[in-house]
Each structure stands twice: as structure tokens, then as C-alpha cells.
A and B are shown apart, each in its own frame.
Chain A
Amino acid sequence: MIKLEGITKKFPGLKTPAVDNLDLEVKEGDVCVLVGPSGCGKTTTMKMINRIHEPTSGHIYVNGKNVLKMNPIKLRLDIGYVIQEIGLFPHQTIEENVATVPNEKKWPREKTKQQVDEMLTLVGLDPKIYCRRYPSALSGGQRQRVGVARAMVTNPPIMLMDEPFGAVDPITRARLQNEFLRIQERVSKTIVFVTHDIDEAIKMGDAIAVMREGKIVQYATPNELLSSPANEFVANLVGRNRSIKRLHLIRIREILNGIARPGPATLDMPLDDIRKQIEKSDIRAVMIVDHDNKFKGIIGMNELKKNTGETAADYIHELNQLITEDATLNDALSVMLECGEGYVAVVSENDQYRGIITLGDLLNVVKEEA
């Protein structure tokens, strides 16, 4: 847990403070994103936590300990640190780079080696290939990975990241963000993450602190930020397409239970029953499962009207618009748009039927929370 109380930072020669009487609390295991325009004090705020900058006044607590009274070297050894320029040491191999903190902590060599290999594997770099290389032989994306591996190698409970994915192309950035989220899900560290990119903030953050002129304008979850921005500044920052952005945040699993719809049919049901069920349905079709609730296909009103068969098995056909529960509402929307249908069927990973989501459901969600 990280707690900032009444933090002010004045740089000599500047009239306005870079950070002005700021309070912030980051819960354990949360990713707290500091976001705002250039010069809003977000980086300065972050760098006071490991005392790269000393606050002019105020208190900082990390896990209940007063940071300003600790030995800064010891403090920093237990806080992972990644900066935008990455700052890999060009004269050291990747292995030596990643082993920086273990070496400072005087870990035994085998333990260090093992941990370095594990970390490199975790960030997707094969230790056998990359250990002996120098940073100059790596691509930008690979360097970012090494930077993250180096910061996490001793498994510090807290990480500070200053635009860690800022210096790579958009495609690589998205991939690194996804990988990072995947890793964070496993390690759940307390992270302070600085960015100027609101989309990155929404994607990465459990909590977002929007900053302006050294103050926090709004501190909220991504969803709250999008649904109820505190003022015009925040609203402008998150942009006009807030609703679309919010669809990114909500997973299908979260809304599926709240939707009441008639259940699926099985193939051995009489055709009349199936017809009745379709008539009740708002999508004019019914999903078909077997007795183990495994998804089989769909029967639509149009096929049934043709009267070409005797049993349900004669009418069933495959459905393309399938999606898993873990996908976001935005994923569901794009599947619908691609297939040109107003609904998708939700299935689990082993094809168990979970329900359907319609365009109307998406509208309801956006409306409800707006």
C-alpha cells in the first residue's frame, strides 16, 4: 500500500509548485495510473515515492513505513523502477542488466541466474538466446521487456513505471500492455503507472488519478471516470467516445447474469415447443444445446417457416458469432458488426452454452451507467 499525504514539491526557481498538496492512496495489488498533460506533475509525484525527488513537504508511506525517514538506497532496492527511456546499461549483457538489483542485494550467483532466466522467460525472451546479448542488439520492444524484467527480478511488492511502453510503435505497445496485464494478474503488485495516454490509463488502471497543475482532479476507477467525469477537463481528456471506451472495460461475464432470457432448446424437443420458444425470443431464433449443455447450433424462425423437415435436427445450422465470457463488450460488439447480426452466443472455453448478448443489452448497459 502506498499513501501520499499533503505532498508538495517546489523546484528551485519556479513560482508554481510542480506538485501541490497532493493526497493519494494506492491499494495493495492495484495498478494506480497517474494521467494528465505534460507538466501536470505526474512523473514528479511518482519519483517522490522512491525519493528520486525529495518532497518539499508532506509524508509518504509505503506499507505503513515513513519513506522519508528510510535509507533511500534500501528503499529503492525494494521498489521496481521502469522509466520511459528504459536506461538499460549498454556495456552490460542482458543477463547482467537484469541481475542489477540481485547483485546490489548480494544474492548468491545461482539464485540470481535462476531468477534472471525465469524473469526473461516471463516477459517472453528466451534466456538461452538473449542472456549474452548487449542492449544494442535488441529491438525497442525487446528492450522494454528487458526493462520490465530488470525491475521485477527480485519480486518487489511495489513498482513504479514511468511511461514504460511510451517509446515503441502502437502495435508493439498494445502487445506489451496485454502481456503486462497478463503478468500483473499473476503477480498482483502494487503499481504506480505514469502515462499521458488516457486510453492506456483506462486499459491498465484499477484506479486512475487525473492530474492537472500539480493537483489530482479526479481519482476514480476507469468505469467511473468514463461514466461520470468530475468536470469538463476530465471529460475532454477522456474524449467524446466515452461509451465505446467503456465497452472495453466490461467483460461479458459481468453482465450475463443480469439478462433474463428463455434458456436454450435441445434437439429432442418437439418442433412446436421450439417454435413457441422462438416466438418468445427477441432474436427470432433459439440456441440448441445437447444434454450436457454443450453448444450445438441455432434454429431460426425463417428456416422453421420453410417447413422442410420433421425434427429439429433438420433445421439446425452452425453459428459463427460465438464469443467467450472473458471477452469484453467491445469484442461482442465487433463480432456483431462483422457478422451483421444483432446478437452473439456466449460459450465457455469447452463449448458450454452460457447465454446470448444482443445489441439491445449493450445499449442497456451503456444507458444504465451513463
Chain B
Amino acid sequence: MKRLIPINLVLPVILIALGILIVVYTANNPTDSLVARMLSYTNMFKALREHFMLMVVSMTGAIIVGVLSGIMLSRPKLYYLGRVVENIVNIGQTVPPLAVLALLFVIMGIGFRMAVFALFLYSILPILRNTFAGIINVQPSIIESAKGMGMSPFRILTRIELPLAFPIIVAGIRTAVVINVGTAAMATFIGGGGLGDLIVAGISLGREMVIFTGAALAALTAILLDHVIGQVEKGLVRWS
């Protein structure tokens, strides 16, 4: 209980070691010169860096916008609008990510920024939905007793509603991150870069090792982030 960092470090270490192993092995054992060029350290790190940039920028934006709008929609005055938005969001999530990318490509053109924007839009949905649901599902009796004891609506939000909704909000962020990592691999189709570059190049040139490297790194990232966020949540939520 009293561990300073309540994070289980075994799995992350294994995942990172596995990633390094894949990078080092493929860089040193290319099947031919084409593969050697594509899986050079420079090329792989570039793809990884781009992939992370896509994720970090889009996720940061999505968390800020998703949580804030989720909070706003949960306020009594906007509650009915919130219900409507919740349904729209649910429908929005059924649209395949590739379709979102294609749609935005038509409207906004191509490039890294475009890709970030598309990922951002797609990641807002689970965060917004979970923030909204997490807050409005706090037991009414808890809110009522807080109100009856003289807590202001703002204090109720920050001291009661958000802490209680926190696990659900984090679950939304986890979902968003996992989707984000996968979808970021498609950014390559609109010139966004990332690990998708490796996968698509591998497919078009028929080099399995390249496809495998790109896909494996993306998968490892997704598992790693999912695990880390889960552990952070566990460490912060002690009451359940």
C-alpha cells in the first residue's frame, strides 16, 4: 500500500525491451538493401517520433476539449443538450477512422496538421462521452447532501463530481489512446507520417519485415500506454 510509485513496472519494462529488441534486430539484419534503407535507425526513429507527435498533440487537445465540454454539458442548464450530444457522439464513433480521414482530406487537404486534427476529432468522442456520463451518474443523494451542507456548485464539481467521475474519465482517455495509436497509423494516407509510413511502404514493396516492424511498434505502444494509464488510475483512486 505504501509504495511511493504504485505502478507495476514489470510489463512496461518488458514492452520497452521488446520494442528495442525489434528495432535493433531489424536494423542489423535487413533481408535486402531496400529493407536496410527503410529500417535504418534514422528512418525508424523518424517514424516513431512522428507517431508520438501525432498522438501527444492530438490527445492533449482531445483531453482538454473533451473533459471541458463534458463538464459543461453535465451542468443542469445544458443537461438536455448533453443528452443530444451524447447520442451524436455515439453515432460519430461508429464512423470508421479511415472515413473520417478521407472526409477531412476532401475538406482540408493533407499534411501533419491535418492528421493531428483528424485524430483530435476522433479522440474527443470517448473522452467527452465518459466525462459526461461519469459526472451525471454520480448518485443524486451524494450531490444533495453536499448541496445541503452548503457546498457551492463549483466546489461540488471540483470536490465531489470530478473525483467520483475520475475513474470513468480515465477509462475514456484509455479508450481514446488505444484508438489513437491505431488510427495514427493511417495518418500516412494523408501525409501525416508516423509508423504507418513503414507499414504502407512495406505493403507496396512487399517487404514483410518492414510491415511487421511498423505494426509491432504501434501495437507495443498501444499496450504500453493502456497499461500505464491503468496503473496511474489505480494509484490515484484509493477509495473503491
Contact = CB atoms under 8 A, between A and B. Distances in A.
Interface of A: 47, 50, 52, 73-79, 81-92, 100-101, 104, 134, 136, 147, 150-151, 160
26 contacts: A52-B147, A75-B150, A78-B150, A81-B149, A82-B145, A83-B144, A83-B145, A83-B148, A84-B141, A85-B139, A85-B145, A87-B139, A87-B142, A88-B145, A89-B142, A90-B142, A90-B239, A91-B163, A91-B237, A91-B239, A104-B149, A104-B155, A136-B239, A147-B145, A151-B149, A160-B148
A83 B163 CA distance: 22
A104 B144 contact: no
Interface string B133-162: 000000101111111111110010000100
Contact of A77 (B142, B149, B164): B149
Interface of B: 139, 141-152, 155, 160, 163-164, 237-240
Contacts of A52: 144, 147-148
Contact of A87 (B145, B152, B155): B145
A81 B164 contact: no
Closest 3 pairs between A and B when the two form their complex, measured CB to CB: A87-B145, A85-B141, A77-B150
A292 B151 CA distance: 60
Nearest to B160: A89
Contacts of B160: 89
B149 A86 contact: no
Among A78, A85, A101, A134, residue most surrounded by chain B Cβ atoms (within 10 Å): A85
Contacts of A151: 149
A79 B149 CA distance: 7
Contacts of A160: 148
Given A47-B148, A100-B151, A104-B155, 15 more contacts: A52-B144, A75-B150, A77-B150, A81-B145, A83-B141, A85-B145, A86-B145, A87-B139, A87-B142, A87-B145, A88-B142, A89-B164, A91-B164, A91-B239, A134-B239
Contacts of B155: 104
A73 B155 CA distance: 11
Contacts of A77: 149-150
Nearest to B167: A91
B156 to A, nearest CB: 10
Contacts of A83: 141, 144-145, 148
A78 B143 CA distance: 18
Given A83-B145, A85-B141, A104-B155, A90 B150 contact: no
Contacts of A50: 148
Given A81-B145, A83-B141, A90 B151 contact: no
B150 A87 contact: no
A319 B145 CA distance: 52
A76 B142 contact: no
Contact of B141 (A75, A86, A104): A86
A89 B149 CA distance: 12
Given A76-B150, A136-B240, A150-B149, A90 B164 contact: yes
Contacts of A150: 149
Nearest to B155: A104
B213 to A, nearest CB: 44
A101 B144 contact: no
A101 B142 contact: no
A136 B238 CA distance: 11
Nearest to A92: B239
A76 B149 contact: yes
A89 B160 CA distance: 7
Given A87-B141, A87-B145, A91-B239, A73 B150 contact: yes
B141 A101 contact: no
Given A83-B144, A104-B155, A90 B240 contact: yes
Nearest to A80: B149
A318 B237 CA distance: 64
A104 B155 CA distance: 9
A91 B155 CA distance: 15
Contacts of B144: 52, 83, 87
A97 to B, nearest CB: 10
Nearest to B164: A91
A104 B147 CA distance: 11
A52 B151 CA distance: 12
Nearest to A47: B148
A305 to B, nearest CB: 69
Contacts of A75: 150
